[in-house]
């Protein structure tokens, strides 16, 4: 069947290199090691791409999937980090780029009863490697938290509006940092952290804790940024907080890049 | 060009009628009259469908769009209500079904400063008409509200977790009810209603109001159901409340059908 | 801490039972056995609910999560089927209802080169159990397929518009059916099935296969319904097909319930 | 009520300026003039933000909504362009940033029968203004198109897989360009354009047209980029194409920035 035309390999005359070409929204099983030594099994949504030199009409999309399949299923983090290199071996490109996002679980003890339950987070890896072997890795955690409004507390005789918010914290590191440590850095910056299972004693605790620790969306990103600035392994970061305001039908948000 | 084959009109031998066939996710401008006499301009997402008798291979999808276009643009509510009839005139079916969903705005005065701002809701019309001319109309409002947890308030020394929630209230009516009246029925059943613009005096008001009116998700659907049961024009209804819990990463929900 | 008020247990005077109350959008690891004996690890999104008699002010939301946690993590299918029973043991209700949806993978051989790759599907379990121990189970598969338009093929000198579509096939069974068998029943009803990895020989094959097997959205649901009607273990079903038309910005859809 | 504490105005000691703080996911009616002189009424989803100097604890979220409301409803494009300036007049910031995205309609004549129908697009404005009065405006159109695979056509005896794709084309301009002209630039770069209403003669036309004009996702971004490079008013751009492959359950994509 080698006689089939290879349209992608035909020359292109528009003289335009393509910054990034590949596949998106591909799902694949992923296993990942916990900080406490367990293996989590989850499902990742991936994109894989390379640049395309101006001489070629097209890339070979099937090779992206072959690069994935060349590894044992499920994917592991060590495989992910070398996936761009593996794309460069299969395609005539200078840079390769892999992104994957997946649900990640932590077992948490409720604050008073210490009952264990799993909380779900989203995590994203973004890896880019060039022909010289230089690699940039960004690790992003999406952390749901409670925020209680300082203004509402200060002006009201009782109560204060509070809500769920999401903090998106992306970091470049000088050496590996545990996902759990990034999550904890964020959770301790909010009014309170979330749990799947809270008995009444626990609910009393988190309600009062949030009331004692009001944060604006501005405070939340500043709290995270302060810790990121002090963290020896964090080279650069972007932190965004978004609050699903309980008194509005729109959200409040803030961003710091450092 | 009348020589083009009409594949859809060919006979089908599988002996299977189709309950519903048509188009989905079609967007179209819509204008709708307010309770206070103004015309709102918005954008609807529509589905239009008919049943297909077992004799036919296919329906004629383009006629659904022609039925829409036969009217002046934008659509109006009176047009919507007669759209199924208009489909039955173009297609050999016994029943026709039209659904459309759109953002709807109300201007609201902040509770203390009385500053006006627009709040957005989602609204859905669902109309089904048969060959005998019988029509069923369901009107659904999706209303964002504040809920404050009675348990959290009762057990905590100060504060109480609260959050945004959405109430989905669908009604069949004996005579037309204003969208605004259904929205108000829901908003007065929650701990507090939402506003786009709140100055500090207003924020103090809604914070304290929510604290004084705690509702579980169960209370919220019961409050709505009680009012629906007493409403002379509401024949039947379904009310669902979903709270985006500020202390969990999952939601609480409750449903009553009456 | 037993002195904390139990607000949910207080009596309610509105005299309104609640059809369904519980938690939604809770994520949890799930493992599931393949038809070929392997164990797949995936992540489910769950809702758990019960009815609430009119005497009670509220249900106990934390018990839903405790019922989940009472089992070994990850969840298994046998656990899911008994989860409603486990809710009834913890709560004073007559019916309990559990829904969970998760990505599911099948390894498929490309049609010519026979190269293996994983294709992802969505699968949903819906289980309801009452106090008498009666259980209703609905299994739904969401299957992506290729559809090629018979009309477009018949009227055009060359080519035919085709697109990705999704078939949602929900069944009630007299005895267990493999997820893989339901998927295959759907995939063989379309113009062609999908693969993650296709080399050129394979792409030629599926292109020509789709052209030789044109189906309207009406044909697709009829093909599935015909097979479902003949299947000895399928008691009842609902099949919906939705095509993301390549020539329109809206979708075509059809539904048969049998 | 002037005695209410102004928490946001309190000094902050973390010494961290905030890059962007404001509101998100706010909906508002918008009217916009067509190229052919008509006024379209639609609904925009907005975000409004400013930077926050390190001295302040918080911004005043209500002023964002007041800036919106200071104008006549619905919003108009001239208002949008001056909204950041209006935010700078209300808040002690150096830069203000407004984004809004909305559905936009064009009436199109079917290629043979010339029957008119409306096609929906998404459009986004992104405006940033600083204290010096410098403004950056980015206009983005999201254009749905048909793509037919050149490889599939070249290797198959008959047929070729095709699908809907979305082109995201963002431009910075030296002088205003009509939204319609950007859309047309994209639509003429694909295998065929989309229509809401096609009779059989039209369907034959677009089927054959797509077959005669196969494009890879790479061709599509290169075709757009070539025209953008030649366009006298386009200063810089980013074009991304994403194809919802009819033979895969994942998408193909390509990006050029120029």
Pick the last residue of a domain from B84, B100, B116: B100
Cβ of D216 and A8 within 8 Å?
yes
Whether residue D95 sits in one domain with residue D193: no
Whether residue D251 sits in one domain with residue D154: yes
Cβ of A251 and D219 within 8 Å?
no
Whether residue A258 sits in one domain with residue A138: yes
- Bridge partners (DSSP) of residue A144 are A166
CATH number at residue B72: 3.10.270.10
Asked if D26 is an interface residue toward chain B (Cβ–Cβ < 8 A), one would say: yes
* Res D35: pLDDT: 92
Whether the ω angle into residue A137 lies within 30 degrees of 0, i.e. cis, is no
**In Å, how far from its chain's centre is CA D49?**
18
Low-confidence ranges of chain B (pLDDT < 50): 1
CA distance B202 to chain D (A): 10
Tokens coding B31: 């204008």
Query: Is residue D57 within 8 Å of residue D18, measured between CB atoms?
Result: no
Asked if D45 is an interface residue toward chain A (Cβ–Cβ < 8 A), one would say: no
Whether residue A75 sits in one domain with residue A143: no
D152 domain-assigned? yes
* Res C247: pLDDT: 98
Residues of A in contact with B206 (CB under 8 A): 161, 247
B109 domain-assigned? no
Asked if C244 is an interface residue toward chain A (Cβ–Cβ < 8 A), one would say: no
Look over chain A and give the mean of its residue pLDDT values, rounded to a whole number: 95
- CA B174, CA B159: separation in Å to the nearest integer? 43
A122 domain-assigned? no
Cβ of C148 and D163 within 8 Å?
no
* Res D1: pLDDT: 41
- CA A40, CA A31: separation in Å to the nearest integer? 5
Closest CB from A155, A208, A210 relative to B200: A155
Q: How confident is the model at residue A117 (pLDDT cuts 50, 70, 90)?
A: very high
Q: How confident is the model at residue A10 (pLDDT cuts 50, 70, 90)?
A: confident
Asked if C154 is an interface residue toward chain D (Cβ–Cβ < 8 A), one would say: no
Cβ of C151 and D194 within 8 Å?
no
Cβ of A207 and B162 within 8 Å?
no
Phi, psi of C251 (to 5 degrees): -115, 155
Whether residue D258 sits in one domain with residue D164: yes
CA distance B101 to chain D (A): 13
Pick the last residue of a domain from B54, B78, B100: B100
Query: How many DSSP H helices and E strands does chain A contain?
Result: 6, 9
- Bridge partners (DSSP) of residue B27 are B45
Whether residue A157 sits in one domain with residue A80: no
Whether residue C142 sits in one domain with residue C250: yes
Pick the last residue of a domain from D54, D74, D100: D100
* Res B1: pLDDT: 40
Interface test mutation site (partner B, options C166, C216, C223, max chain B beta carbons within 10 A): C216
Identify the closest residue of chain C to D166 by CA–CA distance. C249
Number of Cβ within a 10 Å radius of residue D13: 9
**In Å, how far from its chain's centre is CA B174?**
17
Whether residue B3 sits in one domain with residue B74: yes
Phi, psi of B53 (to 5 degrees): -60, 155
Cα angle for residues A108, A110, A116 (degrees, 5° grid): 50
Low-confidence ranges of chain C (pLDDT < 70): 1-2
Question: Comparing C-alpha atoms, which of A237, A231, A81, A240 is closest to residue A166?
Answer: A240
Closest CB from D151, D207, D249 relative to C196: D249
pLDDT of residue A211 exceeding 70, the answer is yes
Whether residue A84 sits in one domain with residue A19: yes
Question: Comparing C-alpha atoms, which of B144, B62, C152 is closest to residue D210?
Answer: C152
pLDDT of residue D6 exceeding 90, the answer is no
Cα angle for residues B23, B26, B28 (degrees, 5° grid): 135
Whether residue D254 sits in one domain with residue D190: yes
Closest CB from C144, C203, C245 relative to D152: C203
* Res C7: pLDDT: 85
Q: Please name the residues between 122 and 151 in chain C that touch chain D, using a CB distance below 8 Å.
A: 144, 146, 148-149, 151
CA distance B71 to chain A (A): 34
Asked if D185 is an interface residue toward chain C (Cβ–Cβ < 8 A), one would say: no
Asked if B180 is an interface residue toward chain A (Cβ–Cβ < 8 A), one would say: no
* Res B43: pLDDT: 98
Whether residue D243 sits in one domain with residue D161: yes
DSSP per residue, C188-217: TTSSEE--S---HHHHHHHHHHHHHS---H
Cβ of C198 and A4 within 8 Å?
no
For A144-160, write each residue's pLDDT tens digit. 999 999 999 999 999 99
C91 domain-assigned? yes
Whether residue A164 sits in one domain with residue A93: no
For D29-87, write each residue's pLDDT tens digit. 999 998 989 999 999 999 999 999 999 999 999 999 999 988 878 999 888 999 999 99
D105 domain-assigned? no
- Bridge partners (DSSP) of residue B135 are B129
ipTM: 0.94
B117 domain-assigned? no
Asked if B23 is an interface residue toward chain D (Cβ–Cβ < 8 A), one would say: no
How many domains, chain D? Answer: 2
Range of the domain at A185: 134-258
A126 domain-assigned? no
B110 domain-assigned? no
């Amino acid at each position: 069947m080698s006689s089939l035309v290879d349209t992608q390999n035909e020359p292109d005359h528009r003289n335009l290199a393509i910054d990034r070409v590949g596949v998106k929204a591909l799902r694949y099983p992923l296993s990942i090691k916990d900080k406490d030594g367990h293996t989590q099994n989850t499902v990742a949504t991936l994109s894989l791409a390379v640049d395309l030199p101006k001489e070629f009409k097209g890339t070979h999309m099937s090779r992206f999937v072959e690069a994935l399949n060349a590894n044992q299923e499920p994917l592991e983090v060590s495989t992910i980090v070398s996936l761009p290199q593996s794309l460069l071996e299969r395609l005539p490109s200078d840079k390769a780029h892999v992104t994957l996002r997946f649900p990640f679980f932590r077992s948490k003890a409720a604050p008073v009863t210490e009952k264990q339950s799993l909380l779900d987070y989203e995590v994203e890896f973004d890896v880019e490697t060039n022909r010289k072997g230089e690699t940039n890795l960004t690790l992003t955690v999406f952390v749901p938290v409670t925020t209680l409004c300082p203004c509402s507390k200060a002006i009201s005789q009782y109560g204060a509006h509070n809500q769920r918010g999401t903090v998106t914290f992306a970091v470049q590191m000088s050496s590996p940092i545990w996902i759990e440590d990034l999550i904890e850095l964020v959770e301790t910056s909010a009014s309170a952290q979330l749990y799947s299972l809270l008995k009444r004693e626990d609910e009393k605790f988190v309600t009062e804790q949030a009331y004692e620790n009001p944060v604006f969306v501005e405070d939340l990103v500043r709290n995270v940024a302060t810790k990121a600035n002090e963290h020896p392994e964090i080279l650069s970061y972007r932190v965004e907080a978004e609050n699903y305001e309980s008194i509005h039908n729109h959200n409040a948000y803030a961003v710091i890049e450092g």
